[in-house]
Chains A and B, each alone.
Chain A
Amino acid sequence: MIGALALAVTLAAYVASLRLRAYHRAAYTTPVLVSVALVLAALAAIRLPLESYESGQRPLTSLLVPACAALGVTCYRQRVFLWANGRAIAGALAVGTTVAIGSAYLLSRSVGLPRAIADVEALKSVTTPVAIQLAAVVNVEPELVVAFVIATGMTGATLGPLVLSMLRVKDAIARGVALGTISHGIGTAQAASESDVSGAASSLAMCVVAVVLATLGAPLLAAMHR
């Protein structure tokens, strides 16, 4: 009973966040951000403890499994695009993820962040459904990873286009690849609002990064700490 109520809270908050986004589109009206704020407010209002809330969310979070298969479908839809721009996309992904992960590690070290947080900083560009499972590979809480992943998405989506324009990156495909590589789904939404080509490039980059970081990045991190 409490489980059903908790689930209803999430769904109601999400629907409300979509309404707000339709009414006013801005970085701070990103559905996930608004949903979380609304859920936390609702839990405080009805005095439902966080543990009871979480126990009701299984039906929703279990949908992450087919959702990842669905991302494979997204990737397949862009296959012609992938073959046509394979070299540029692969090269940009290799350089971009190396810079993102390398700088995250070096900066984490230099400001003295604990190892667990440094790992999360390194993996923060992966799409959330994959990130949740990556957490288990490097042995940190999934909630921590999700928070960093969402923050990265929002950072790239809001400031990324400015940085790209400053560097005179005008090519639609290049802009899309950059946003999708670093800011996954949230960046893809931003890229799609710039142009269809950018959106396609971005969703493709997001899928490839998820697979590359999951198959190479995480096992590498896990091995380093053994």
Chain B
Amino acid sequence: MKRATATYAASAGIAASANEASSRARAFATLVGQLALLWAIGAIANAIVSRTHLPIPGNAVAMLGTFALLSANVVRLEHVDRAATFLVRHLTVFFVPYAVGIAALWGTIAPHALQSLFVLVTSALLGVAATGWTAQRLRRHA
């Protein structure tokens, strides 16, 4: 009797882990499928821009296009939400290679490094101040 219970428990355990594995596989398949969909939207947007020679980055059109497709209910949020969350969470890794490439350009920036940094910090903080101050005023008077 005791042995039978033990066998039952063990087989239940195996069944549970098999179940878990298959649901993980399904989640992975969903992610890949959604990635493919977002990729297709982005690729089409980029193709349109390069065909029409618009002076706009294709990736900005991809962003707008996705928003428009979702708003028009052509694409539903549940068709893309997992892949979107994944991509946005790990956005930084995609431009690490570019940031590494700056080492090769160091020669061009080095003579202007201090001035560049001064302009960058000053204008960024002026921008933060102007945006925050205006937003707060407009919301109070809304």
Contact = CB atoms under 8 A, between A and B. Distances in A.
B104 A66 contact: no
Given A117-B116, A171-B136, A67 B97 contact: no
B124 to A, nearest CB: 5
A71 B57 CA distance: 14
Interface residues of B, number: 75
A174 B94 contact: no
A146 B66 contact: no
Contact of A75 (B67, B85, B90, B124): B67
Contacts of A218: 55-57
B105 A144 contact: yes
A129 B142 contact: no
A71 B67 CA distance: 9
Contacts of A137: 55-57
Interface SS, B side: helix
A167 B55 contact: no
A36 B103 CA distance: 10
Contacts of A71: 63, 66, 88
B85 to A, nearest CB: 8
A20 interface: no
B88 A14 contact: no
Interface stretch (B2-10, B13-21, B22-30, B38-46): B38-46
A40 B106 CA distance: 13
Contacts of B142: 87-88
A70 B56 CA distance: 18
Contacts of A136: 57
B48 interface: no
A134 B98 CA distance: 14
B69 to A, nearest CB: 8
Given A107-B123, A144-B105, A155-B125, A130 B131 contact: no
A74 B67 CA distance: 9
A159 B125 contact: yes
A76 B131 contact: no
B102 interface: yes
Nearest to A109: B119
A19 B52 CA distance: 44
B125 A121 contact: no
Given A99-B126, A218-B57, A69 B98 contact: no
Given A63-B94, A79-B71, 11 more contacts: A35-B96, A53-B97, A66-B38, A72-B70, A76-B66, A99-B127, A100-B123, A113-B119, A146-B102, A183-B128, A185-B92
19 contacts: A10-B93, A35-B92, A72-B63, A88-B139, A97-B131, A103-B123, A125-B124, A133-B57, A143-B99, A143-B102, A150-B95, A151-B117, A159-B121, A169-B135, A174-B133, A174-B136, A178-B129, A181-B127, A181-B131
